Chain A
């Protein structure tokens, strides 16, 4: 069921919040894709009853009476928050993240926390300490990552909306691989308070839903200026749901010159070409833009993200909370054993890379260079957006792939983020939506927009979804 139908059933009192939650819980208990790390069934039922008892107060809230699943990266007061890691397996935060708080206020009911790559590092959901998630379309395949559980949750129809985070594509890539819609907002639109940091300068939370409508409503709930996050942007609130209907007229849409040189799978390319004709048919003007620097983004990203993560993850030392190696006699042993035992291989690898690129003697060659490339990409986007309103490209190079591919070819996995990373480097908003289907598997396309153009991204996607059915397909 899509989000709007579900919310309408609540608003018209045809289905209570409690009944909707019971339905989601039933599906969670029958889930064999390993989508959830923890589900909070009694808490959810209690909250649903509270909303039902206060129907008038919540009736018009953006997410009224709708069950929601949150990525297990958002701190939930009194309820475990693992970030997909053994390190935080038993960690119970004493506070709610702003995203959780906002979603609660907006009338949604959290039914559980979804599986994810450990500390959001990965593109297949296989680095989770709690085991991989299977793709709802084919359980031999990965759902993408790092928000793999969140995307699979919506694709498998367990909830109609879920939250995720996107540092290098972690919302858009799993959205593409699972056949749902996912939006990475402009950096600073959604507060990072209470969201466990991976790469602070790029991490951004955003919504998943089957369609642009659900994403708009969830974004209405999530986005808010937050004085607790210094990188949060103070700006007038937009109502994204209302703006879906706004006519932005005929747009200039940038398509990237020689994009087939990036090694995109022919099936993905074919869907891309079809979507371009749809866009033209909707009255938009396609304009070829040169963005040959696009591929350098990945090099920059895999220096900056590990650098920040090596620092962000230093707090997990066994001293204050989380996992602690037992029977250690001195403090450096405690650090080493705790971190050796409780971090997975991918996390360790990135901490090592990050530590290296920030070290004296390497900082200039790696970190500073990477920042220059980042600025170059940002500048390039800014110049492109002088000529076009949106950029359109595939979300991923490929469709969902088999589990265990990563261990055979890690560089290929990193390359998987080639088309999503540039938006993170520049802090731009981008949306991925289902735009094709091949081999019984979904394909995703994405729009990248200028800063704070989420309304345009959502409305344009919505317009496509009014004339197409890709987003309606279910496994």
Chain B
């Protein structure tokens, strides 16, 4: 069962993730208040979100449809009847003293996602409301609460313990991210908290039949930290067990500054949430008609898009997969293809654009690159106005300034020199000025050809058409 390469010092890590995804609905899960990030504190708060005496929740059907979409995208069972439960605990940013969630009858059950060719099962995905936000460092000696987030719909996606390494956990998380952004049910922004992750981690001997005791790491908020936190936790547990200790079932927090996990709450201090069915909400039936309606309304999934890209734009597996890994990139590519060469566009997005994105750690729509200026760049490469080398320069400039490549090329005089007469004159001058190298070349030092090319490029500040230069030099040197 275990793949050997995930075994560390004779121990098999076993990992399950709980991913909280904030759904992009117009209004909150049970109130008519707007669901939006980044507004002034307590401006998106209805009576219901404040938990005033006498208020009652009414289910947002939009959130329910988004849950159904996720279920359909992961080949899961959609509940015929879903039931909301109350999870009771006291916390200042939980105005009612309970969270409305789904315990036994969640909207989605028994799903599966493909992660690098391996099936990772989804135990369930359930709808629940988010809590408000406590802030302790805004004022001296005072804590304050922002209820804008109170009641925001969440889909909590609980995996089975099918994950075997930190890297696989990250890949799984990226897969979930891909699915929810493709379905347009969440922006999946981890830094803003619209996607958060808890990881359950245990280790076992590969031959053992039962899982080890697990620790849960709460609220990890980036892909990088998920990997680090899990790796730290695996090492901690191995060290503990190899020194004769035992792993305690507990909740831990990951400290990204110190790169370590710390105990937050042990089992005996665990909350008893006293779950029971929420009497304010009647069991909700989900009809086959509704499921069909949602299915018809669903956007293309990553695999479907990849297949279409392969046939429509004549792309290879790898290219299609990379372009479709994020919906924004895929959409960007399609937009560009309306006016530009598909193969060349693919090459440049996968290569240079992705390199810039990775280097600066931003996403495409946060950058200065847009479909218009990028299409113009491809156009100028395609028609030979600029060389690939110059195009990289132009792209850098676009990245920094957001300016149009045509303008950049014009203002900096970067047009490629393809005029044969002009190039021949420059090449002749290079040959005339380097007679000793010409001697050597002609006596058999073939490698010196590159030297002449370099000199021509130098003279033209890199603007010479490399193909033309090669041809001309070969002709002149053969004389």
What is A's interface to B at a CB cutoff of 8 Å?
74-75, 81, 83, 88, 91, 93-95, 97, 192-197, 199-201, 227-231, 307-308, 310-311, 313-317, 319-321, 331-332, 335, 355, 358-360, 363, 367
Contacts and interface: CB of A to CB of B under 8 A. Distances in A.
The prevalent SS among residues of A at the interface is loop
B280 A75 contact: no
25 contacts: A75-B54, A83-B53, A93-B53, A95-B47, A194-B54, A196-B54, A227-B58, A230-B56, A230-B281, A230-B282, A231-B56, A231-B280, A231-B281, A310-B88, A310-B274, A311-B97, A311-B274, A311-B276, A314-B98, A315-B95, A317-B97, A320-B51, A331-B92, A332-B90, A358-B276
A230 B57 contact: yes
A229 to B, nearest CB: 5
B53 A229 contact: no
A358 to B, nearest CB: 4
A95 B47 CA distance: 9
Interface of B: 47, 50-59, 86, 88, 90, 92, 95-98, 145, 272, 274-276, 279-282
Q: Which 7 A-B pairs have the closest CB atoms?
A: A314-B97, A358-B274, A201-B279, A200-B279, A194-B54, A196-B53, A315-B51
A91 B51 CA distance: 14
A332 B90 CA distance: 9
Nearest to A313: B97
Contacts of B50: 320
Contacts of A231: 56, 279-282
A314 B99 CA distance: 11
A308 B145 CA distance: 27
Nearest to A356: B274
A93 B280 contact: no
A231 B59 CA distance: 12
Given A311-B88, A359-B274, A230 B52 contact: no
B95 A360 contact: no
Contact of A228 (B56, B88, B96, B98): B56
Contacts of A331: 92
Nearest to A74: B54
Contact of B279 (A308, A319, A321): A308
B128 to A, nearest CB: 16
A335 B95 CA distance: 13
A190 to B, nearest CB: 13
Nearest to B50: A320
B86 to A, nearest CB: 5
Contacts of B98: 311, 314
Nearest to A199: B279
A195 B52 CA distance: 11
A201 B275 CA distance: 16
Contacts of A316: 53
B58 A230 contact: yes
Which of A195, A199, A228, A314 has the most C-beta atoms of chain B within 10 angstroms of its own C-beta? Answer: A314
Contact of A230 (B59, B90, B92, B275): B59
